Every structure is written in C-alpha cells, then in structure tokens.
Structure 1
Amino acid sequence: MRSSSRSLYCPSLSVRSRRSRPRATASLTELYTEYESWTLSGETNLTSVTWTVTKYNQAGNQIAQQSYDGREFDAQIDIDSGSEETNRVTVEIQGVTPDVDTFRFDPAQTYTLSRFQLVRSGGTSQNLSSTSVHHFTTDSKDAREAIEAAQATIDETGGSSEAAATLDDAIEAYNGEEFGSAVTFANNAQQQAEQDQSTETRNRLILYAIGGLVVVGLLVGGVFYWRSQQDSYDKLG
C-alpha cells in the first residue's frame, strides 16, 4: 500500500454549555486506490449525532450523499466504478457534547470528536485520523484561563509562597466545580504575585539608593580627610 495523503479540517469549536452542539467537517483525499472498495468507519463521543457523508468524483462533482444517525457509521467507498468512482469524501458531524462527570484542572477533560478508520473486507482496519477536543463550559473555561494567567505571572515573577498557596486554592475550587471561586482565587494569586514583584523592585531601589548614599558619604568623608591632612602639612611647613 502506498502512502496516501488524508487531510482533516476541523474548525475551532465553541462549547458554550454542557449541551452545546459542535459541528466539524473532515475531508479525506487521495483515497486508497489499491482497493476497489472499502468501508469508511467513523465514531464519536458526541450524542444525538448526525453524520453526513458526501462523495465526489475526479471532476469534483458530487456523486452521492448519505446521512447516518448514532455514534458510529459505516459507509461503502467504491474507488473503481466508472463515472461513480469516488475520489474525495467529506464527512460532516454534528451532535451534542457529552456531560462531564468530574472536572479536573490537570489533566484537562477531552472527548473524542471523531475517529475514522478504513475497514477492508475480512475485518482488517487501519486508523485514518482521530480528533479530540477540550471539554468545557463557559464558566470552567473562564476559570481555567484565570488560573493559567495567574500561573504565568507567578512563574514570571517568582511569586511568593502566599501567591502559590492562593493559586492552589483556585485549582482546588476548579476541581470542586466552584468556578466563580476559582476565578476569584486566581485573580488574587495574580495580584499577590504582581505586588510581590512591585515590593521587590521597590526594596531593590531603596537598597540602591542607600548604597548610593553610602558611596557619596565615603567620597565626601574622603575629601574632608584629604583636606585636613593637607592643612596639617601646611602648618608643619
């Protein structure tokens, strides 16, 4: 079997609630011409799913379209059938995102949006592509972004143990699905890290200023000492 190119186009998904309806389209090109026919098999973790399989010939004309319901489907692909020869296949999938049993910040929840296989006569199969997406609600997405922003600030500033502890509280709240509290804790952790950096910068400037005053004092003292020594030499002369 020669190596074939298969491209998967999946637009960005906006999952606004636990029951949102994402839509994606996969495009399979340069199909396996070594086989006169084979089966395209697809599966997903979505519920209330509709698959729309559209076949095109070499000229780019649509030759067939079939819809399937359910989490799995099988579509027959005929490579060598005259004017009905299939050259390209697109699969559109639309369904409802599955519920999340338990939210965890790390690792982030994902679900399988689509998985495609080539199935030959006799049952042997080969994976074509698999696409997983993050599973989140609007609230959990906001909480995750706030936590990640706080973590980045702490890493950048070398934040205090207090900021790190507050960040841990944010993650714990996220894992408990208290997303509003997670955002509050994360924002507080970020502010603490920024304040720590500001305090450190101010203290450093104060130390620089004190060091500068000490140097100036030493220079002035040295000048007075030198002049007093010069006066002593003049009197002795």
Structure 2
Amino acid sequence: MNLTHCSKGTIALLCVAGLLAFAGTASAFTISAEGVPSDAAVGDEVTVTYTIDDPFTDTSNEWTLQGQTQLQDVSWTVTVLRAGSQVSQATYGGQNFSQALDIDNNGDQVTVELTGTTPEVENYTYQPEEQFRVASLTRVSGNNEEEFQNDTAHHYTADSREARQAIDDAQAAIDAAGGNSEAEQLLDSAVSSYENGNFQNAIDLAEQSQNTAQQAQQSQQTTQTLLLAGGALVVLLLLGGGGYYLYTQTQGDDYSKL
C-alpha cells in the first residue's frame, strides 16, 4: 500500500518536472545583434548581423520583415535557415528592404547582414551627441506594425571629435574648480562654435576655458594654503605667548619668594 502511494507520488512529481522542463525550453521569438557600433567615424564601413530565432512563435504565420538604415552604400543580405541549413537567401540594395515570410515555406531562423558606410553629420549637437540610425527592423502583419529592433550610434569627423574632447576637458576642469563664471562663459561659446561646425574656434575657446578654470583652481588652492599657514602661525604665536606668560609668572613667583 505504501509502495503504491509512493509510486503514484513519484510519477506525479516526474510529470510536473517534465512539464516545467518543457515550458522552460519552449521556443520564443528572439532577436540578437552582432557588430553594432557605439560610435563610428564618417565614411567608416559598418557591418552588423541580426539573428531572428523562431520567427513565427507568438506571432502571425505570415508577416513581412522590413528594415531601414541611414548608412550609405547599403547592402542587406537576408538568409532563411531551417535546422541550420539554408532555405533561401536574398540581397537588397538601398536604405530600406522588405521581405515576406511564411511559416509554410520559411525556416526557424532568419539572419540579416547589413553593410554600409557611416553617413555625414547633418546637424552637429554637443548634447545630446549626434546620432544616426544603424538599423531598425519591423514586423508587419496586416495593419499591425511592430518595431522590434532599433540601433543608433554616434557619428563624428576627426575635427568634431577633437573639438568635443576639448570641450569635455574644459568641463572637467570647471567641475574640478567648483565652477567659474568666466570659464563657463568661454565654454558656452565653445559649444556654440561646435554646433555651428567651427571646430577650430571651438577648440581654442575650450582651451581658454580650461586654462581659466585651472588658474582659478590654483588660485583657490594657494589661498587655502596661505590661510592654513596663517592659521598655523597664529596657533604657534598663541602657544608661544601662553608659554612666555607662564614663564614670566613663574619667574615672578620665584622672585617674590626670595
């Protein structure tokens, strides 16, 4: 009797464990990306690969994959695989592409390889920094559109990067000095020049701002040092005066005793 109850209990536990294991390994629509840059120089080549696993899980059996990018000289390569074997492959040019997917004749994985060059900066902004769209991917089913991936990156030229670094250095110097109105005004002018594309002027103003902030910090440190030295001198004088007073008092007492 006990063995029967034990066996039934064991079987029930095994069934629950099996269901949990199945639920834990159930497939789901997922997207991963490789090669997405955080920043890129204008004209640099960028190659990004997106992998969509289980493209028909938790969604329609028929949908359209669309891609967009701001990269230049673009090439998209869309590969459909089933169990690791290639089912189909298509190549698209231009900054947009669209490909229909169907569960009946498509696989269980889709890869999208995008190659292009970093675009020019149309509008320079110091904060927030200039961004361009590396790629966005959208799932379209009927009238429903869902953007499930959107990657952006900072783009720059050699001159704009140098100017931005100079401004960053000036801001750090101002922060270290605890703020300085003259340095801050120079920094504001540097940022304005940066956003107008006048990078050499931005660098010159930022360096002036940094120097002004550093001089202010040194002046503060010198003042603090002098104040500390003066305080120490006062303490020494007080100690010396107190000691002399005690000495004279002692000497006066000794003389009166005599």
Query: TM bucket by the smaller chain?
Result: 0.7 to 0.9
SS in 1 for 2:156: coil
Q: Equivalent residues in 2 for 1:141-160 (5 A)?
A: 141-160=161-180
CA deviation vs aligned residue, 1:137-194 (integer Å, no higher than 9, x gap) = 1211221122123212322331322221221121122012111222232233223323
SS in 2 for 1:130: strand
Aligned to 1:7: 32
Whole-Å separation in 1 of the counterparts to 2:157 and 2:65: 32
Structure 1, 205-214 or 72-81: larger mean CA deviation: 72-81
Cα RMSD of the aligned pairs, angstroms, is 2.3
SS in 2 for 1:55: strand
Q: Does 1:107 align with 2:128?
A: yes
Whole-Å separation in 1 of the counterparts to 2:38 and 2:77: 18
- Indicate how the Cα distance of structure 1 residues 106 and 39 shifts in structure 2: closer, same or farther if over 3 A, else same: same
CA deviation vs aligned residue, 1:174-223 (integer Å, no higher than 9, x gap) = 01211122223223322332332232222212211111111111111111
SS in 2 for 1:7: strand
Whole-Å separation in 1 of the counterparts to 2:223 and 2:241: 27
Shift of 1:232: 2.1
2:232 corresponds, among 192, 212, 229, to 212
Whole-Å separation in 2 of the counterparts to 1:193 and 1:66: 58
Whole-Å separation in 1 of the counterparts to 2:28 and 2:147: 13
Whole-Å separation in 2 of the counterparts to 1:29 and 1:187: 51
Q: Which residue identity lines up with residue 129 of structure 2 in the other structure?
A: A
Aligned to 1:67: 91
SS in 1 for 2:31: coil
Aligned to 1:233: 253
Shift of 1:116: 0.8
**Normalized per residue, which structure has more strand?**
2
Shift of 1:13: 6.0
Whole-Å separation in 2 of the counterparts to 1:218 and 1:130: 71
1:91 corresponds, among 104, 108, 112, to 112
CA deviation vs aligned residue, 1:63-88 (integer Å, no higher than 9, x gap) = 2211111221111223343xxx4222
Q: Equivalent residues in 2 for 1:115-130 (5 A)?
A: 115-120=136-141, 122-130=142-150
Shift of 1:3: 6.0
- Indicate how the Cα distance of structure 1 residues 172 and 28 shifts in structure 2: closer, same or farther if over 3 A, else same: same
**Gaps in structure 2 of 5+ consecutive residues:** 1-26
Q: Give the conservation status (yes or no) of the 8 Å contact 2:189–2:205.
A: yes
- Indicate how the Cα distance of structure 1 residues 215 and 99 shifts in structure 2: closer, same or farther if over 3 A, else same: same
Please report the TM-score for the alignment, with normalisation by the length of structure 1: 0.85
Whole-Å separation in 2 of the counterparts to 1:134 and 1:184: 24
Please report the TM-score for the alignment, with normalisation by the length of structure 2: 0.79
Aligned to 1:35: 60
SS in 1 for 2:149: strand
**Normalized per residue, which structure has more helix?**
2
